Amino acid sequence: MEHCYYHLIYGDKLLSVPIRVDPWLTNSMMKTFLFVLLLAATPAWAGDSIAPKLDIGKGGQCVEDPKLMRKTHMDILRHQRDETMRLGIRDPRHSLAGCIDCHASTKNNSVLGGSENFCQGCHVYAGVKIDCFECHSSKRKTVAEATK
Amino acid sequence: MSAENPERRAFLGKASALAAGLAIAPGVLLFGFAHGRPAGEAASGKVRWGMLVDTNQCGNGCNDCVTACNKENGLSGGTKATDSQWIRKVELKNMKGGRNLSLPVMCQHCEHPPCVDVCPTGASFRRADGIVLVDKHRCIGCRYCMMACPYKARSFVHEPLADQKPDVPRGKGTVESCTLCVHRVDRGEQPACVEACAKAGRGAILFGDLNDPESEISKRIRTVASAQIRADLMLNPGIRYEGI
């Protein structure tokens, strides 16, 4: 038996996977297996023709790399949420209100409403429920303040 | 109009240069004029926010603080048992002397808050600067804190809500109470009730840092008699009252 490493590219990360190669597993079998693994590991975004067409609102330069945001925005938001709530650190860069301010639709000033809206569009596509807006306002702050 | 005054011009020029020097960037000042913290800084334990309510100035029938609170925080303004009320106006009458007393009662922002002691999830907590809050991300709606609070300060949200204020997230199934307008305080502003009371010409509520001996509230507490409600419970509330 021998050890070898196969390199997988998952999103923008390089994974080195140690594999124990049994004598009965031929090289061609291994290659087929890894190809299937690679297909499964490819993010849904890559070259997907049915990916949601989103209205990104004002858009412009995001506070982080968009690729990173797609994968980790929930962690960034959760981290910021605890910092703001418990410690009172109000960093406008990673605040939910900041996201909404840039990404609320130019049509209804909200990140919710339809399949084009920034949060709802992608979350419906991914089949992930968003809890944020049961309590938080989904509207751009300036507009929400004006329509008091 | 009048002839130009060179001295005045020179003074204005210097004054505007000074003002420009204080501002590092638009909206960012070298130091906060009204205790406003920089965005990335945590609330400090050196500060303790509190209020002093002068019941001699507080008017019978005046409800401006309650109205302002409702507007600022997006409350319905209803007074049913199931409606959220963050401030209540309490009217008292001394049956012997006949003196009428009116005072706003809200979360007293205790130093030793019973609501925090009983919370099973850590949702009810006291921030470093003395503001007692509910972390609704952790609140499971058990309402132990409502039972524990001797001031009846907390409310439970029974119905689904819509169109919450961007600065004041509120949701069904969680407990809430006066936040001392924490979003305004963090910006260096006064709570909405304090502003409304001053606007109504009463100025009955004084807001400030109890830990700063030079703050207006500390100076006043040193010079006039004031009391905490249910001081016998030894909770050391941050809200004090004059004339009760």
The pLDDT score that the predictor gives to residue A30 is 59
Q: Is the pLDDT of residue A4 over 70?
A: no
Given a contact cutoff of 8 angstroms between Cβ atoms, the answer to whether A46 and A102 are in contact is no
Query: What is the least distance, in Å, from the CA of B9 to any CA of chain A?
Result: 38
Asked casually if ipTM beats, i.e. exceeds, 0.85, the reply is no
pTM over 0.90: no
The pLDDT score that the predictor gives to residue A58 is 86
**Alpha-carbon gap, residue B57 to B40, rounded angstroms:** 38
Q: Which of A 94-113 lie inside 8 A of B, CB atoms?
A: 97, 100
Query: What is the least distance, in Å, from the CA of A59 to any CA of chain B?
Result: 20
**Side-chain half-sphere CA neighbours of B126 within 13 A:** 21
Given a contact cutoff of 8 angstroms between Cβ atoms, the answer to whether B180 and B193 are in contact is no
Per-residue pLDDT 10s for chain B (244 aa) are 444 555 555 555 555 544 444 444 444 444 434 557 887 889 999 999 999 999 999 988 899 999 999 999 999 999 999 999 999 999 999 999 999 999 999 999 999 999 999 999 999 999 999 999 999 999 999 999 999 999 999 999 999 999 999 999 999 999 999 999 999 999 999 999 999 999 999 999 999 999 999 999 999 999 999 999 999 999 999 999 999 8
A34 reaches B (C-beta below 8 A): no
Domains annotated on chain B, with CATH:
49-242 (3.30.70.20)
The pLDDT score that the predictor gives to residue B146 is 98
A70 reaches B (C-beta below 8 A): no
**Alpha-carbon gap, residue A84 to B127, rounded angstroms:** 11
Q: Is the dihedral of CA B162, A104, A54, B136 positive or negative?
A: negative
Phi-psi region of B76 (alpha: psi -120 to 50; beta: other; left: phi over 0): alpha
What is the three-class DSSP state of B29?
A: strand
Given a contact cutoff of 8 angstroms between Cβ atoms, the answer to whether A139 and A104 are in contact is yes
Q: Is there a contact between B166 and A135 if contact means CB atoms under 8 Å apart?
A: no
**Side-chain half-sphere CA neighbours of A96 within 13 A:** 27
Query: What is the least distance, in Å, from the CA of A54 to any CA of chain B?
Result: 23
Q: What are phi and psi of B196, to 5 degrees?
A: -65, -35
For A34-79, write each residue's pLDDT tens digit.
565 555 555 555 556 677 888 888 888 899 999 999 999 999 999 9
Q: Where are the beta strands (DSSP E) in A1-148?
A: 2-10, 13-21
